[in-house]
Amino acid sequence: MRRHVTTFAVAALMALLAMSCGSSGPSFDEWADLAADLCLEQEDLVDDLGEPQDPEEAIDFLIDLLDLAEVHLEELQDFGLPSENRADAERMLELWAEQIDLGDRLIAAFDDGNDQRVERTWAQIEDLADQFEELAVDLGIPECVTSDRDDEPSTTTTPQAAGPFTFGDDPELDALWEGCDLGDMADCDELWRVTPVDSEYEAFGATCGGRLDVAQPGGCTEQFADLPFDEAMTFGDNIYLDLLWAACEVGDVQGCNALYVVSALGSDYETFGFTCGERVDEGDMEGCLELLGPSNIVAAQTFGDDEFLDALWLDCDAGDGVACELMYRISGEGSDYESLGATCGNRVPDTRPADCSSI
């Protein structure tokens, strides 16, 4: 822990310096002197705190260091990047941003009791810290390199996956996998968070259900924030339209019809619904009904009868007005699903047709 603590101090400086990039920024010597002072102040805090003796102390130690970094951000808000060595300073900013993200994950992994992820995340932090200190050496700021820094690059061993590894190994993880596959980005993030390191479960969650070529661990919800129905154009843009797409794809005619009705004009969603999941010519809903038979969605009466409607029920009950309206529009007449949607999750009197946009 101690060998990289100055990383947080210097990187705090870098993050603030990025806020102002005017042509009249400080000279490199001024910038380097301030960075050195900040590193020394960080070292003083480390001396005061002492060496952490257990994991709990280590987390408190990290939080205290980050608190100090926030104070530095406020103190240095008027600083700018030096014109000399600007690219190196910007690279330091990137390294700091990555370490902030990893630091959050480290604390979350510790809170979850996931020892494998704690070990792996700390190894990643150390690798980034090595890169950061190498830049400090190149820039001639020895105060920002800890005295006990190894001359040789550190090597780490990534733990092998233990426990459930892939789909079919664990029912609860399988449920998250299926939700992620259908477009529930929260399930993708949760799948990544709770599964063993280097498992196929973890990789599936980190790539948002195989939607990304480059993993975005824990960032799927932000990466795939839902677009409104009238702006969503293709699979992955809106979780509810994705669920309708999935229902249509597996053969529910009402899923196809609802997808066509609620999706944006000219979207892939509309086309997929209008062709009965690419089974018939556009608009041949009679052919779709003849091909697929009665709708499971329309036949479902109450919670537990249909997996897709159950997902909408849970979201509507939790306060998602869009889920309430969609459930009302596609569920069978007189069903409990329709009633819950019409009352916006029992929050308002029956408002048929449902109008829950203000929830």
Query: Within this chain, do residues 109 and 30 fall inside the same structural domain, yes or no?
Result: yes
Instruction: Give domain status of residue 90, yes or no.
Output: yes
337 half-sphere exposure, CB direction, 13 A CA radius: 29
Query: Within this chain, do residues 245 and 217 fall inside the same structural domain, yes or no?
Result: no
| pTM, to two decimals | 0.42
Residues 6+ apart with CB under 8 A from 6: 39, 42, 43, 133, 143, 144, 145, 146
Query: Collapsing DSSP states into helix, strand and coil, what is residue 263?
Result: coil
Query: Within this chain, do residues 217 and 243 fall inside the same structural domain, yes or no?
Result: no
Instruction: Give domain status of residue 266, yes or no.
Output: yes
Domain boundaries, position 268: 239-297
Domain final residue pick, 109, 144, 179:
144
CA 73, CA 77: separation in Å to the nearest integer? 6
Query: Within this chain, do residues 131 and 12 fall inside the same structural domain, yes or no?
Result: yes
Domain final residue pick, 144, 160, 186:
144
Number of domains comprising the chain: 3
CA 154, CA 51: separation in Å to the nearest integer? 20
Query: Within this chain, do residues 107 and 210 fall inside the same structural domain, yes or no?
Result: no
Question: Is the peptide bond prior to 52 cis by the omega test (within 30 degrees of 0)?
Answer: no
Instruction: Give domain status of residue 272, yes or no.
Output: yes
CA 76, CA 26: separation in Å to the nearest integer? 12
pLDDT in tens, the chain (359 residues): 444 444 444 344 344 334 444 445 777 778 778 777 877 887 887 788 777 777 677 778 878 877 776 666 566 446 677 778 777 766 766 766 677 777 777 777 777 776 767 777 777 778 777 887 887 788 887 877 875 544 433 333 334 444 678 888 888 899 899 888 877 788 888 898 888 777 889 889 988 888 777 788 888 877 766 667 778 888 878 877 888 888 888 888 878 888 887 788 889 998 998 898 888 887 776 777 777 776 677 788 999 888 778 888 888 888 888 788 888 877 888 899 989 988 888 888 876 655 676 65
Query: Within this chain, do residues 11 and 122 fall inside the same structural domain, yes or no?
Result: yes
Query: Within this chain, do residues 23 and 106 fall inside the same structural domain, yes or no?
Result: yes
CA 187, CA 341: separation in Å to the nearest integer? 23
Query: Within this chain, do residues 138 and 262 fall inside the same structural domain, yes or no?
Result: no
Query: Within this chain, do residues 247 and 287 fall inside the same structural domain, yes or no?
Result: yes
Cβ density class 271-309: b for 16+ within 10 Å, e for less: ebbbbbbebbeeeebeebbeebeebbbbebbeeebbebb
